[in-house]
Amino acid sequence: MSFLLRPYQQEAVAAVYEHLRTKNTNPCVVIPTGGGKAICLAQIAKDAVERWNGRVLIVAHVRELLEQNADKIRKLCPELRIGVFSAGLKSRDTGEQVIVAGIQSVYNKACELGPFDLIMIDEAHLIAPDGDGMYRTFLADMKVINPDVRLVGMTATPFRLKGGLICRPENLLNEVCFEIGLREMINLGYLSPLISKAGRAEARFDQLHIRGGEFVGDEVAAAMDTETLVSSACREIVELTRPRKSVLIFASSVAHCEHVAEKIMAYSGMECAVVTGGTPSGERAEIIARFKGEPVPNDLFSNKPPLRFLVNMNVLTTGFDAPNTDCIVLLRPTNSPGLLIQMIGRGTRICDGKSNCLVLDYGGNILRHGPVDMIRAREPGTGKGGEAPAKKCPQCLALIHAGYRVCPDCGYEFPPNDGNGNLSGTASTAAVLSGQADYTEYEVLDTCYAVHEKRGADPDAPRTVRIDYQVGFNEFKSEWVCPEHTGYAREKFIKWWRERAAYGLPIPTTAREAVASASAGMLADPESITVKTIAGEKFARVVGWRLKSRPVYEPPPDTVRNDPDDLYDPDEIPF
């Protein structure tokens, strides 16, 4: 390698070469946003030209990607002749060894460009899975010129909204030759950690209709762009982002962008810029530069101030590179897992002074799709055309299929339309990465104890005690303790019992004895509980308690104190 690549980038490049040598299919490299796909493109282009005397075309679909790829290759490989073919960039180079081109500009100009040995597609998830799209038209013409031309894809999301996986035998790209995951990249220190807001409220979403695999745009805009919701969300955004430097907001429509910007400025006293598809290119470039903290002249003697807040609508997803972004706000729901990953990916790049990226989700997206490092493609024909794949049972916290009216784990009956109510003006607390833990303290309104028998268990199987803590009008948190088990489960129950039972109360050996003592008022009532929720796991756990004073236990007169373990009093000196 002629310039320094990270270890995983070296592996990715080597995997591409191995695939091209040994297989006739077209490979794809999957590296998360911010992981340096452009460097891999540059290395492959350099090797193709200098080592194998080839000619390379790098194709993308947006202007920012073209500029980034061309600049990256020029910096890393100054000895190569780099050309650009793009109507938007007013350049029509055709004779260079490496051409960076916009697919819209070249899809019908294969003969004008001449033959290539290698074509690389950046953001390959945007290739149409079927039909005669621009990529297919161009590649078909290029194969007429050079039947041996090879194709390599690069993407952060190997699936798209429609069509499932982008790598299939019948597609342009056929298999993934290298993939590294988001969590692995974060753990290695190459990407910024992602965190979600700490709090209790969760975003909820309407029964929005699906068209073409995505929520209907007009319905989303109508649901999100209300005075109550926008005001509530923007007030919370301003409060939660006070320590943040660069807040990127995804809205649902142009009108929604303007409404959000107005409220953000009212609550923060700071400018909030807007970028939409209709923003003139010069104005858009200036706004993005200010958001990145780059100097933008105001007059002869001063620069315009940097922007903390920037709201956009379907623009700053793919190809937008602002490493300083330390907060992503999702003020829109999406049914597309790829779009969710792309939006959150705008905050994963590392930057000096940036310790993590806060994700505020007001569209229920993380709950809908799951933690972003665990999202997998949904194949065509699966599901019900965009229905939320899961909902959370408010009683046992199980994530179950949205179609259930009764929770199969605890029997909770969902009221009509529960789990798909109105969108929330409060950011979701669902963790954005699997394995992330959230600790939430709840005030306990009431406590219920019951003997619990596992469904289908043998009649002689040990029973447990189920404790339901009421923490809201119709919200419960549950835990289970095991007085009839042995080993660690029994020891854990003994510790639990001693922390709350009346002093001197014998430790029960059965679940029925434990429930009887609890029902008789022999356990301290909890004032509050702490619940630990780990993203990607089915159940939450009660991990802490704040207890009221213990009740007084009066043993029967004939009680024989012959078991010091059962009668242990932690306040009594044992000698």
- pTM flag (> 0.85): no
Domain contains 488: yes
Residues 374 and 458 in one domain: no
Whether residue 164 sits in one domain with residue 211: no
For residues 282, 286, 287 and 293, what is the CA-based torsion angle, rounded to 10 degrees? 160
* Residues 417, 207 contacting (CB under 8 angstroms): yes
Q: Are residues 267 and 326 in the same domain?
A: yes
pLDDT given at position 412: 66
For residues 174 and 252, membership in a common domain is answered with no
Based on the fold, state whether residues 324 and 203 are members of the same structural domain: yes
Over the stretch 127-177, which tens digit does the pLDDT of each residue have?
766 545 888 889 999 999 999 999 999 998 887 756 577 888 888 899 999
Looking at the 3D structure of the chain, how many domains does it have? 3
Residues 170 and 207 in one domain: no
Q: Both tokens of residue 137?
A: 């038209």
- pLDDT tens for 50-79 read 999 999 999 987 777 788 888 888 888 888
- Give, for all 575 residues of the chain, the pLDDT tens digit: 456 899 999 999 999 999 999 999 999 999 998 898 989 999 999 999 999 999 999 998 777 778 888 888 888 888 888 999 988 888 898 889 999 998 889 989 989 999 999 999 998 887 766 545 888 889 999 999 999 999 999 998 887 756 577 888 888 899 999 998 888 888 889 999 998 874 333 434 556 888 877 888 888 888 889 998 999 999 999 999 999 999 999 999 999 999 999 999 999 999 999 999 899 989 999 999 999 999 999 888 899 999 999 999 988 887 788 999 999 999 999 988 888 988 999 999 999 999 999 999 988 888 788 778 777 655 544 443 333 444 555 654 444 445 455 555 556 666 654 444 445 666 766 667 666 667 788 999 999 999 988 777 788 889 999 999 998 877 888 999 999 998 878 888 988 998 899 877 889 999 999 999 999 999 999 999 988 877 666 677 888 888 888 888 777 665 444 443 443 344 433 32
Helices (H), 29-109: 37-50, 63-76, 103-106
Together in a domain, 385 and 256:
yes
CATH number of the domain to which 235 belongs: 3.40.50.300
SS3 of residue 365 by DSSP: helix
Is 300 among the domain residues?
Answer: yes
Query: 3-state secondary structure string, 202-271?
Result: CCCCCCCCEECCEECHHHHHHHHCCHHHHHHHHHHHHHHCCCCCCEEEECCCHHHHHHHHHHHHHHHCCC
The pLDDT of residue 372 is 82
Do 250 and 314 have their domain in common? Answer: yes
Do 203 and 171 fall into the same domain? no
Three-state secondary structure string covering 531-562: EEEECCCCCCEEEEEEECCCCCCCCCCCCCCC
270 part of a folded domain: yes
* Single-letter residue type at 137: T
Q: What is the DSSP string of 39-55?
A: HHHHHHHHHHHHTT---
Amino acid at 399: L
- Residue 160 domain boundaries: 7-180
